[in-house]
Structure 1
Amino acid sequence: MKVKHILCLISACFVLHSCVVLSPKKYKALLATQDSLTTRTGTLEAQVSRLQSDTAKLHREIADLQGQLAAAKDSYNALSDKYSSLNNNLTSTTSKVNQLSSDLQAREARLKEVEEILRKRDAATNALKEKLQKALLGFQQSGLSVDIRNGKVYVSLTDKLLFPSGSIVIDEKGKAALKQLAVVLNKEPDINISVEGNTDNKKVINLGQIKDNWDLSVLRATSVTRYLTEVEKIDPVRLTATGKSEFQPIDTGNTPEALAKNRRIEIVLTPKLDELYNLISK
């Protein structure tokens, strides 16, 4: 707009000068000046047009960059929130892992203690079995056996070794076997003793006070228990007497041999595991 104003002023000057008589030389100089101004005006207009175009382009680029910046800020905020959430999860997970690791170490230490106690139990059980086998060697041909089951020593005595048929009174051969057993048990005060009476599945007939196999199994167990405590002086606190009647047979057959196996007294010897029980109850 300023260029146009300049041209208008120049034109006005020409009009004013037209009223004055100019020499040819001045006239030519004036025309040259006019041509120069026209040329410069065209150049300036072109520059203005370019500048306007560049300005519009820069405005578009700035708007585009502002949009990208806004999108970047949104992405940053989203990532920041996600990072914060992940960081919180990581902290929580790390805490849980540390707690689980601590619990695992405690459990492993406890497991080692239990394994060590069980190792001692097994060693004690095996040693006891060997002592009993040596002490009772002379009776093993008469229906006595010693074996280990579930960490316990089982001394099994058939009824023919201990009692006359249908009786609850221990005979001399049975007393001799129990005496040898008591020698070992009195030297092992940390062994608990359970005396279990077992019968076959034949019904008891005409035995007076003994009404059935329950009575027979219980009374035979208590007879053995009384002998061990009253005669062989084993501490009664260590003993338990139980009757299992016919319901835990060794052999489910119905042959005379199978029935004879089932008529037995089992003396179950268990090492005291106070350490283990105390550990488990923690």
Structure 2
Amino acid sequence: MKKTLLYFPLVTLLLASCVSQKKFTELQALQDTTKDLLNSTTVKLNTCDEEKAAALASVASLQEQIRFLKENNSDLIDNLGNLTTLSQKGAENLEKSLESLKEKDSRITSLRDAVTKKDSVTLALVTSLKGALGNLTDGDIEINVEKGVVFISISDKLLFNSGSSTVSKKAKEVLGKVAKVVLDKPELEFMVEGHTDNVPISNDCVVDNWDLSVKRATSVVRVLEKDFGVPPQRMTAAGRSSYVPLLENDSPSNRAKNRRTRIVVLPKLDQFYDLISKGMEAAQ
């Protein structure tokens, strides 16, 4: 894969010199599409390991119990093999052990299925968001996946004027696209986080950066609810002030990146646990 990436610039130069501008543009578009598919696949690979780690830990514990039970069963069968008649009590114990093995195997399968379904929902969400917001530059909006959670980070310059918590008209267009994706997935909840740089602020409308970050988060939530019909019970507004920066606040460009609004999208935890519980019940 790395070698393929290294060939892209060379191929681009050769195409630029040998084909028409129209053909070159088409090939460039194809290259961009291929890169986007590669990035999506990379996101999937990077998140699966962390997503499955917790479930696999439980799987390992259950498999150890299975191994122990199998060893006990083997010893029991060896001992009983020397007897001419298997006692009723021994037969019942053996049957219970075998049923316990089947139950634990079913639980392992249910856990794996639940994690796989969650991975699929996350990948589908990322794909939908990138499709809806594809016309925006990376400097304005970024979509990332960390530990199974989807993060949409929108730049300060796109959403608000300096020191203001009023959502701009251009920002409402972006929020409308996000709302459309969210409304199509009622199984999701999300939190809107306001982030600032570390430059102190105080005026007639804002007390400090804490106040500004909270007001910006609630402004976004209100727009999503009133303008686009997102149910308020699915949203949480939070202010993080300047205390979770992306970069050090040591330059204007870094401070600009730290001034952002982040939408944290995640499956409803109660539904995810219900999925696991139903799998456990089915295994019994």
- Classify the TM-score, shorter chain: 0.5 to 0.7
Residue 176 (structure 2) aligns with: 179
Aligned in 2, Cα 1:107/1:201: closer, same or farther, shift over 3 Å? farther
Which residue, 158, 161, 168 being the options, matches 2:158?
161
Task: State yes or no: 1:263 paired with 2:259.
Answer: yes
Count of matched residue positions in the alignment of Structure 1 and Structure 2: 192
Give a deviation string over 1:234-268, Cα, whole Å, max 9, x none. 11111111111111111135122221121111111
> SS at the partner of 2:116?
helix
Gaps of 5+ in 2: 1-91
Give, in whole Å, the separation in 2 of the partners of 1:223 and 1:185: 18
Which residue, 208, 211, 224 being the options, matches 1:215?
211
Residue 128 (structure 2) aligns with: 131
Aligned in 2, Cα 1:232/1:111: closer, same or farther, shift over 3 Å? same
Q: Report the CA distance between 1:111 and its aligned residue.
A: 3.0
> SS at the partner of 2:154?
strand
> Is this contact kept in 2: 1:142–1:161, CA < 8 A?
no
Code of the residue aligned with 1:247 in structure 2: it is: Y
Aligned in 2, Cα 1:231/1:113: closer, same or farther, shift over 3 Å? same
> SS at the partner of 1:265?
strand
Name which one, 1 or 2, has greater alpha-carbon Rg. 1
Which residue, 235, 238, 241 being the options, matches 1:242?
238
Which residue, 227, 232, 236 being the options, matches 2:228?
232
Code of the residue aligned with 1:175 in structure 2: it is: K
> Is this contact kept in 1: 2:126–2:150, CA < 8 A?
yes
Aligned in 2, Cα 1:246/1:126: closer, same or farther, shift over 3 Å? same
Which residue, 107, 110, 117 being the options, matches 2:107?
110
> SS at the partner of 1:155?
strand
Task: State yes or no: 1:122 paired with 2:119.
Answer: yes
Task: State yes or no: 1:192 paired with 2:179.
Answer: no
Q: Report the CA distance between 1:130 and its aligned residue.
A: 0.8
TM-score (norm 1): 0.60
Give a deviation string over 1:8-62, Cα, whole Å, max 9, x none. xxxxxxxxxxxxxxxxxxxxxxxxxxxxxxxxxxxxxxxxxxxxxxxxxxxxxxx
TM-score (norm 2): 0.60
Aligned in 2, Cα 1:208/1:130: closer, same or farther, shift over 3 Å? same
Residue 58 (structure 2) aligns with: none
Report the aligned-residue RMSD: 2.9
Aligned in 2, Cα 1:186/1:203: closer, same or farther, shift over 3 Å? same
Q: Report the CA distance between 1:142 and its aligned residue.
A: 4.6
Residue 5 (structure 1) aligns with: none
Task: State yes or no: 1:272 paired with 2:268.
Answer: yes
Q: Report the CA distance between 1:272 and its aligned residue.
A: 2.6
Q: Report the CA distance between 1:176 and its aligned residue.
A: 1.1
Q: Report the CA distance between 1:141 and its aligned residue.
A: 4.3
